[in-house]
Amino acid sequence: MKDIKVKVLRLGHRPGRDKRLTTHVGLVARAFGADEISLSKDDEKVKESIIDVTKRFGGNFKVEINDEWKQTMKNWKGDIYHLTMYGEKISSYEEKLKKRDKDVLIVLGAEKVPRIVYDLADYNISVTNQPHSEVAALAIFLDRLFDGKELNLDFDGEIKVIPQAEGKYIEKN
């Protein structure tokens, strides 16, 4: 599907408030074709949850805790896309995303994002200029990045969901 590395950088995480949301950011990143996520705040339970899903449902998705997010952004060798409702509309970048030839770092904030993030990013992009979830923004961005091909990814794990018109069917390896 791709020949580039895609990494998600999750900025901030309020343990009492963002646990489920940060977990969902990781799950969407994995399911929609990203290679790894870097969490800027240490929350072992979130990390373990994402790793557990990867183990059970498959894939080579990596999870790291890295509080040096500025260095990650400064040292990134590819394109940096900061997803923010204040950015330019994603529709103006669709052709560039289809012709990508560099690794991609996707930056998602949880708390108020420091001004330097906007400056370090190559592109500040919005999926809408209205308040919305970063999970939705990530899913839409990855869908545009991979041109819908991520929806057909096949993961080799302990559990495989078999699509059904009705009911649930899973295979266990």
Bridge partners, 88 (sequence order) = 125
Residue 1 falls inside a structural domain: no
Q: Please count the residues of the chain.
A: 173
Q: For residue 156, what are the domain limits?
A: 6-172
Cα separation, 41 vs 19, in Å, equals: 11
Mean pLDDT of the chain: 91
Cα separation, 168 vs 166, in Å, equals: 7
Residue by residue, what is the 3-state secondary structure of the chain?
Answer: CCCCCEEEEEECCCHHHHHHHHHHHHHHHHHCCCCEEEECCCCHHHHHHHHHHHHHHCCCCEEEECCCHHHHHHHCCCEEEEEEEEEEEHHHHHHHHHCCCCCEEEEEECCCCCHHHHHHCCEEEECCCCCCCHHHHHHHHHHHHCCCHHHHCCCCCCEEECCCCCCCCEEEC
110 appears as a binding residue in the annotation = yes
CATH number at residue 123: 3.40.1280.10
Residue 105 falls inside a structural domain: yes
Cα separation, 66 vs 79, in Å, equals: 19
Q: Quick check: 32 and 145 in contact, CB under 8 A?
A: no
Side chain identity at residue 21, one-letter code? L
38, two tokens? 């870097």
If one counts the domains in the chain, the total is 1
pLDDT recorded at residue 17? 64
- How much of the chain, in percent, has pLDDT values that exceed 70? 95
135 appears as a binding residue in the annotation = no
Residues of the chain with pLDDT under 70: 1-2, 13-18
Residue 87 falls inside a structural domain: yes
Instruction: State whether residue 136 is helix, strand or coil.
Output: helix
109 appears as a binding residue in the annotation = yes
Q: How far is CA 4 from the centre of its chain?
A: 14
68 appears as a binding residue in the annotation = no
pLDDT recorded at residue 142? 96
